[in-house]
Each structure stands twice: as C-alpha cells, then as structure tokens.
Structure 1
Amino acid sequence: MNKSIFALLLVGMLTISSPTWSASSFNDVQQRAESGDAKAQLELGYRYFQGNETARDVEKALRWFQRAAQQGYTPAEYVMGLRYANGEGVAQDYAQAAQWYRKAAVKGLPQAQQNLAVLYRKGHGVAADSHEAVMWHRKAAEQGLANAQCSMGYAYLEGDGVAQNYALALAWYRKSAEQGNAEAYNQLGVMYVQGLGVEKDPAVAAQLYRKAAEKGYDVAQSNLGSLYYKGSGVEKDYGLAKHWYLKSAEQGFAAAQTSLASLYYHGEGVEQDYVQAREWYRKAAEQGDATAQESLGILYERGLGVEKNLQQAVAWYRLAAAQGDARGQMNLGTMYLDGSGVEQDYVLARKWFGKAAEQGNSVAQHRLGYLYEKGLGGEKDGPQALAWYQKSAEQGNAIGQFRLAELYSSGSEGVKYNREQAIIWYNKAAEQGDLHAQVNLGALYGHGTKEEQRKAVAL
C-alpha cells in the first residue's frame, strides 16, 4: 500500500482533522505516548510515519503502533494488521495480518472486519472460506462501511458464500453507492447493462458508470468508453470513447489499454496509427491481457507499426492461446499449419485448431475440417471433416460453406455424394462473393435441368 493510502487509513483511525501539528503539540503527544497513553502512541506513530513535524521514520512509527496495539487498543490492532498485510516496514505476513485484524474485528471495528473478510475470500494467511468472508463483510456492512456493503453486493451477485440473489445484490450496491462508493456505482451499471435483477437499461448504466468514472474509477471509465463506442445508452461517439479509454488506460487498466489500442488500429475516432496501437497493446499484453497478446501477435506477423517478426508473433499468439483465447489458438494453429515462425507441424496445428474450434471459432473449424479431410496431423476422417465444415458454414463462414459443398459434391472420404446439399452451400458461399463457389455452382447447374442451366448462364 502506498504512503498516502496508508496515512489516510490512519487518519480515519485517529479522527485527526488536520495533517499537521505544531511543535508543542508533537512534544505533548510524545510525552503522553511515553507515559503509556495508547491513543497517543498510535498518533505518535502516525506522525513519524508521515514525517509531520519530525523526520520521517518508519521504524519508529511501527514501534509506536505496536506498543499501542499490545495494550489492546483496537485502532492500533487494525493498523498492525495493515502493517503485516502490506509489508510496510516488515516482511509481508498475511497470517500475522489476520491475527491482528481479528483482534480488532471481534471488538467491532468495521474496517478490521472488512479486511479480515478479504483475507478469507482470497485465502491469504487463512484457509479460503467464502462463508466466513461473508460473515465478516456483513458485520462491517451493517455498521455502514461502504466498501463492505459493496462486497456484500458482490457476494449476492456471484452467489459467493451466499445463495445468488440479484435483488439483495442491488440493495447492497445501492447502500454503498449512496455513500459515493465508485465501485458500487460501476457494479450497478453492470447490472443494468446485463439486466440482472432489473430491466436492461444502458442509459441508466451510462449514468452510473459516469458517476464512478468521474471519481476516477478506472473500470467504470473503461465501461463508459465502451458504451460510447457501441452507442449503447448514449449517442455513439468514438471521440468520447477514446476520452474515457485513455483516462482508464493511463491508470494501467489493461482492458482499456486494449480498447484504446483497437481505436488506433482501426482509426476509429483517431487517425490510424499502428505505432500507438502497438504501444497500448504491449502495455496490456505485458499485464497478461489475452486479447492484447493476440492483437500484438498480428502486428508482428503483418509488420504493422513494428518490424515484421514471425517468431515474436508466435510468442504472443502462444501466450494468448495458453490463456484460452480462441483467436490466439486459431492463429497459433495457422502458424504451425504454414510453418510460419515455427517448424511446420500438422499435429500441433490440429491441436490448436481443435481448441479454438471447440470455442466456436469458425475459421479454426473449417481449418480443422481440412486437416481431417486431408489426413494432416492424424488419420483421415471424412465425417469429422464434414462435421467441422458444417459448424463453420452454419456460422456464415464462406470458406466453411465452400469446403462443405466441395465435400458433398465429391462424395469422397466416407461422405455420401449429395448434389442438393452441395448446391445449397455453394450458393451460400457464392452469395458472399466466393468466386470458386460461383464457378462450381455454375458447373453443377450446367449439368442439371434447363432451369438450372439458365441459372448457370446467369452466374
């Protein structure tokens, strides 16, 4: 935790209205602390931590925090929990943090209850236990702590530690939002976008996202940008989409960095700029954003905004694919199919196409079908080829439609000849402008009835 956040938490514990004190006040606090006054000990620790009216000295600060906590002073016990949870002046130790938080939590301090709940939710220093987490979240929430109310909203939204209940999720998020909690505003926006417990209303969502975004909440800024990009609940405006994506991206939010990069890649609301696209994709990719990793791979494969480097393309596709990104898997399979940036390997091509195809990627489906049809990377299997071509074709993929028609028209590899089906799928591909499909459809019609022959002439 950074210095300013830690200090703010301490201010809350001490109920100090001013961040500075006179020299005599410091001396007075020091005298009271040395005489054993626990509240003064905590305050003195804070002064040393902040370096207000004295040289900043974290070690002295922590010694005074500990002296106050050892007297059973509840706010100091909470501060000791913060100390260990964040590794501030000591080695990070979640188990110690949990012990100190618990001391303060059982005495009813809501901040300690909330932080102990978070440790249970994450399994840090204690065994992960969503039910225990909810118990402590609830105790803090019922005392009016906005963050805890937001956590209760999350628990009911996800059914984490409690039975899923959208109405209760809304109720807790609203309590938190009424106190100005930015995350709660954002989560309410999500519920209105998705229609969870309420009628879908992107306009209301936009208002809620805006409240959170104007408080600087990066997730909400990104979400508001997306509404402007789509024209959902607000008038479509790429300029405002960029505005909000940029605010979020500059805070390091990976999804916004990816969205901003996409604007530069496509030239939407900005002048097309592959270099800017590369920079923002890289920032997100280095945080593990799979979409950004796949997109960065495309830039390297095509040499857009960067020197063409097929090995780098493969590396980024592999990272995206390992996270289950279907486009990354499809592109990695293609690199293995073509021997591009890697040694050609039909077995691995089949593997990665298979993973992407199972997720519904229509390109991977027809390429997997091709490998089955030709026996590349494994045994020939016409029925499997047919099945994958069919899946691709039904999604409107013209190549999938063409290959499906080809298989029906050839009647090979264990697939029965079916002129009617061939005509249907050639026709669908031809309507999308596939020249080969148009030629083959013309050939089929040319050998058919007089009406079909007239259609062939028209083609």
Structure 2
Amino acid sequence: MPKRPDPLFEIPRPAAFTEPVLDLLGGVARPRSLSGEEAIAALARIEESARQGDPEAEAELARRLLTDAPNARSNRRALILLRKSAQQHSPAGLHLLALLHLRGQGMKKNAAEGVRLLEEAAYMGNASAQTDLAKAFALGIGVPKDEGKALYWLRLAAAQGDNLSALRTGRMYRDGDGTLQNEGEAQKWLEQAARSGIPEAQFELAELLRRRDISARDIPGARRWMREAAFSGIVEAQLRIGIASWSGAGGAVDQREAVRWLCRAAEGGSIKAASMLAGFLMTGNGLPMSLPRAWTLFCWAAERGDGGAQATARIIEKQLTDEERADGEKLLREASPRAMLESLIPRSDR
C-alpha cells in the first residue's frame, strides 16, 4: 500500500476562477466567481496552454491535479507537467516539484532535492517557495537547522505581501528567534499581518503594544487592536477588551460594553470572564444584583478549576432557597455555556 504524503508541506490550493467586473457605483473592479460552464472553459484554456508548452500553465494544471481528489494517475501526470515546467525555470513549477519531493507524493521522498528546488524558486522571487524554505530551515528538514536563514526568507516573503509570513516574522523579532529581539521590527510585521485581518496577529500586536516598556507603551493602540481581535472571535481578546472597558484602560469606561464582551468570552469558555460576571451579579455592580444567578455562574467556573469561585459559591449557597439552588443546578446540567449565559444575563442587561 503506498505511503500517504507527508502533510508538513502542503500543496497550495489554486485560486477560484474569477473575473474582474467594474462596480459602476464604486468605480473599482471587483472579482466575480465564474459559472460552472465558464470555469470549465477556463480550465480548458489552461489545458491547451499546457499542451503548447507554457510553463506557467503546466504548473497551474499540475496544481489542480494535485489538489482536486489526487490519485496515482493524476500524481503521475502532475509530475510530468512539473518536470517540464521546472526545466523551463518556472518559479511555480520549481516550487510545486520541490513540494512533491518533500512530501513523497508520486515519487520517493527526497528532502535534500526538495530544498534545492525550493532555493532555486525562492531566489527567483516566489513567495510561497520562500515561506516553505523558511520552514525547512526552521525545522532542519533537508538542511541544517538555521533560524537566522528562516527569518531571512520569511522577511522576503512578507515583503511581497505574504501576511502569514509577516506574522511569523513579527513573532521571531518579538521573541529573539534567529536574531536579536527588536520590538520595532516586531510591531512593523505584526501590524502588516493584523491589517490583513489575521486574528492572531491582531491579538499579538495588541499584547506587544500593551506590555512593552512604559516609554513605548501604546495603551489606546493596544485597546484598538484587541477590539479587532475580539470581533474576530479570539476569546482571550474578548476577555481583555471587557476588562479594559470596565477599567477604562486606553479609553473610556463603559460598563455595558464590558458586560457584553465578558459575556461573549464566557460563552466561548473563559472561566475568568464567567467569574467576573458572577461578581457583578453578586454585588449589583454593572448588572442587577441576583445571588442565585451569581451562584450558578460561580459554580460553572468552579467546575472548570477556579478555586476562588468555588469558595465564593459555598458562601452564597447558604443564602439560597432549595428552589433557587435546584434551578441553578438544572441550568448547569442541561444548558450549553451560551444558553446558560442567555438565561442568567438576558440581552436587555448587556
């Protein structure tokens, strides 16, 4: 039985077939997905160009063969196409052929040859090859491990607009991997990735701006990027922006906004957010006071390892009626975190 290809180096999926359409109102061209018939016609044009020996068309056709339900037959045809494309020094063809060597797909695995082909494509300016070459140096695959060279290739890819490479570059400068720590460079690359909409970059940029030395700290900027990460669904960011809204760090105090974000974080599983909301319910600060609701939330946090919540729940429990305790226990048994929060803190209170 043939071995499965090594998944460490993935074949990049081809872009969807689109065509630019002028937006008469906005005055800019926007992509429009092609219909089924139009997509088939576009693929036929790629096939014809590949038959005529166009190296870029050969590489593109091979990419589609390798990613659209690949099998032994399509692998063999893709390999033939990529060898022809690589012989004509197509960066895309060299990159994809390198990946087949690194993955062991359609051929015997050969990491050294894969890295050689990656280097050739990377020196020709192929950003995807630069990113994969950085991975090879970072992990020591086919070459000695060298984080400095990994950073070099990541920077080149990031400078060409590869935003995931920008995220990794920012992390390396932040942590001092393969280079001296440099918060200015870290901020530059993390900001590029954050502006492209990568949630992890938005969160990590916010953390960098919040934690750096006092003279360079940017609390309003940190709050702005943390808010972007929170909107992107990062639970820890939702917790942090809730705390910032409550305390006024980096902006105005907004208790309702704080409760809203803490609820979202708690629905996502944040124990700390649930404990804070329970505290609001216990004291009547930020939410209408309700010991039964506070007890239920403290119990939920305690079940997930919050020792302080467990101690507080025991104190409150002595003040509850049997009916109030039974209602809370039913919620804890039967409701999802989202349903429980909806019941304990209605939308009108957020």
Please indicate the TM-score interval, normalised by the length of the shorter structure. 0.5 to 0.7
Q: Shift in Å at residue 220 of structure 1?
A: 3.9
* Equivalent position of 1:257 in the other structure: 130
Question: CA 1:354 to 1:266, structure 2 compared with 1: closer, same or farther past 3 Å?
Answer: farther
Matched-pair contact (CA < 8 Å) for 1:188–1:208: yes
Q: What CA distance in whole angstroms lies between the structure 1 residues aligned with 2:294 and 2:137?
A: 47
1:71-90 counterparts in 2 under 5 A? none
| Alignment correspondent of 1:214 | 86
Which one-letter code corresponds to 1:327 in the other structure?
Answer: E
1:226 is displaced (CA, Å) by 5.3
CA deviation after TM superposition for structure 1 residue 277, in Å: 1.4
Instruction: Flag the structure with more relative contact order, 1 or 2, with Cα contacts below 8 A and sequence separation at least 6.
Output: 2
Aligned partners of 2:135 and 2:150 also within 8 Å: yes
| Structure 2 partner of 1:358 | 231
How many angstroms apart in 1 are the aligned matches of 2:296 and 2:96? 48
Partner deviation per Cα, 1:123-179 (whole Å, 9 max, x = no partner):
xxxxxxxxxxxxxxxxxxxxxxxxxxxxxxx99921446843322222222122222
2:70 alignment partner AA = D
Change over 3 Å in CA distance of 1:441–1:348 after alignment to 2: same
| Equivalent residue runs for 1:46-445 within 5 Å | 157-160=17-20, 163-164=34-35, 165-192=38-65, 195=68, 200-201=69-70, 204=74, 207-208=77-78, 211-212=81-82, 214-215=86-87, 216-223=89-96, 225=98, 242-268=115-141, 270-340=143-213, 343-378=216-251, 379-380=253-254, 381-390=257-266, 393=268, 401-411=270-280, 414=286, 417=293, 419-420=295-296, 423-424=299-300, 437=305, 439-440=307-308, 443=311
Q: Which amino acid aligns with 1:174?
A: E
Aligned-residue Cα RMSD (Å) equals 4.1
| 1:260-311 residue CA offsets vs partner (Å, 9 max, x unmatched) | 2133334455443221112212222333432333322222222222122222
CA deviation after TM superposition for structure 1 residue 445, in Å? 8.0
| Residues 336 and 185 of structure 1, relative CA distance in 2, 3 Å threshold | same
Is the alpha carbon distance of 1:319 and 1:270 closer, same or farther for their aligned partners in structure 2, counting shifts above 3 Å?
A: same
Size of the alignment, in residue pairs?
Answer: 278
The alignment's TM-score, normalised by the length of structure 1, stands at 0.49
**How many Å separate the matches in 1 of 2:91 and 2:171?**
27
Shift of 1:314: 1.8
Instruction: State the alpha-carbon separation in 1 of the partners of residues 182 and 19 from structure 2.
Output: 46
Give the C-alpha shift of residue 240 in structure 1: 6.2
Deviation at 1:186, TM superposition (A): 3.0
Change (3 A) 1:286 1:405: same
What does residue range 437-456 of structure 1 map to in structure 2 within 5 Å? 437=305, 439-440=307-308, 443=311
Q: CA deviation at 1:349?
A: 1.0
Contact 1:254/1:287 (8 A) holds in 2: yes
Q: Distance in 1 between matches of 2:212 and 2:230?
A: 20
Q: Which amino acid aligns with 1:384?
A: R
CA distance in 2, matches of 1:376, 1:301: 23
Partner of 1:66: none
Q: CA deviation at 1:372?
A: 3.0
Give the AA of the match of 1:251.
M
> Displacement of 1:353 after TM fit?
2.0
Alignment match, 1:23: none
Amino acid aligned to 1:208? A
Q: Which has the larger radius of gyration?
A: 1
State the one-letter code of the partner of 1:404: A
Which letter maps to 1:201? P
Distance (whole Å) between structure 2 residues aligned to residue 348 and residue 209 of structure 1: 49
Q: 2:232, 2:63 → 1: CA distance?
A: 25
How many Å apart are 1:225 and its aligned residue? 4.9
Q: 1:182/1:298 Cα in 2 relative to 1: closer, same or farther (>3 Å)?
A: same
Query: Which whole-Å CA distance do the structure 2 matches of 1:354 and 1:236 have between them?
Result: 45
Which secondary structure state, in structure 2, belongs to the residue aligned with residue 201 of structure 1?
A: coil
Question: How far apart, in 2, do the equivalents of 1:187 and 1:342 lie?
Answer: 50
